[in-house]
Amino acid sequence: MARLNINGQDREVDVDPDTPLLWVIREQLGLTGTKFACGVAQCGACTIHIDGIATRSCVMPVSAVAPEQKILTIEGLSPDGSHPLQKAWLAHEVPQCGYCQAGMIMAAAGLLQQNPNPSDEDINAEITNICRCGTYNRVRAAIKEAAADTTNAG
């Protein structure tokens, strides 16, 4: 039995302790916005936040997360798609197939949390997620727009 705090809710799940957090999120908790694509921390499709830090959940065993640590998935990023990144993503129409996009947005949200005004180099260094459809330039533009948005608002 594992206790997890996910998107602000405490949940108990009956699961083998070495199950990757990704699969607990998807299969036990039914939150399928977080995606499986490589399973070896290479692509970022499974990116979530643990205490605000962007984390690739496919290689993190559920037993490594303490009950009080706050797990955030794409479903919890905003109640209605109104996070500045989601708004910028919509304005730039970033997604193509969309499969990598939840991970991209979560990685970007992690970046902005650490660094509200990232340079191109910061973005290059931090957003190493794979997108096979090739949305990188629009991901970059949307991050910059969201950063400007947040900075202006703040």
Partner 1 sequence: MTIATNVSRRNFLIGSSAAMGGFVLGFHVPFTKEALAQTALPPEVNAWVVIKPDDTVVIRIARSEMGQGTLTGLAQLVAEELECDWSKVTTEYPTPGQNVARDRVWGNFSTGGSRGIRESHDYVRQGGAAARHMLVAAAAAEWDVTASECSVDKGVITHGASNRTTTYGAMAEAAAKQTPPGNVVLKDPKDWKIVGQPLPRLDTVEKLTGKQIYGTDLTFPGMLNAAVKACPHFGGKIASFDAAAVSSMPGVRKVVQLDDVTVGVIADTWWRAKTALDALPVTWDEGPNKDVSSASIAEMLKEGLEADDAFVLRNEGDVQTQFSGGGKVLSAVYAFPYQNHATMEPMNATALYTTERCEVWAPTQNGEASLAAAAEAAGLPIRQCDVHKVHLGGGFGRRGMQDYVRQAVQLAREVPGTHVKLIWSREEDMLHGAYHPTTQCKMTGALDAEGNLTALHMRISGQSILASVRPEAMQGGMDPVVFQGLTQNSPEGHLAYTIPNLRIDHAMRNPPVPPGFWRGVNLNQNAIYMECFLDELADAAGVDPLEFRRKLMVNHPKHLAVLNAAAEGIGWDKPAAEGVHRGLGQIMGFGSYVAAAAEVSVADGRMKIHRIVAATDPGHQVNPAQIERQVEGSFVYGLSAALYGECTIGNGRVEQENFDTYEVLRMAEMPEVETIIMPSGGFWGGVGEPTIAVAAPAVLNALFAATGKRIRMLPLKNHDLA
Contacts with partner 1, residue ranges (CB under 8 A): 16, 19-20, 23, 26-28, 30-40, 42-43, 45, 73-75, 77, 81, 86, 89-90, 93, 95-102, 105, 123-125, 127-140
Q: Based on the shown chain and the rule CB under 6 A, indicate whether residue 44 belongs to the binding site for ligand FES.
A: yes
- Rounded distance between C-alpha atoms, residue 62 and residue 65, angstroms: 6
Site string for ligand FES, 68-87 (x = CB under 6 A): --------------------
Choose the contact partner of 68 out of partner 1, ligand FES, none; CB within 5 to 8 A by kind: none
Interface residue list for ligand FES (CB under 6 A): 36-39, 41-46, 56, 58, 95-101, 131-133, 135
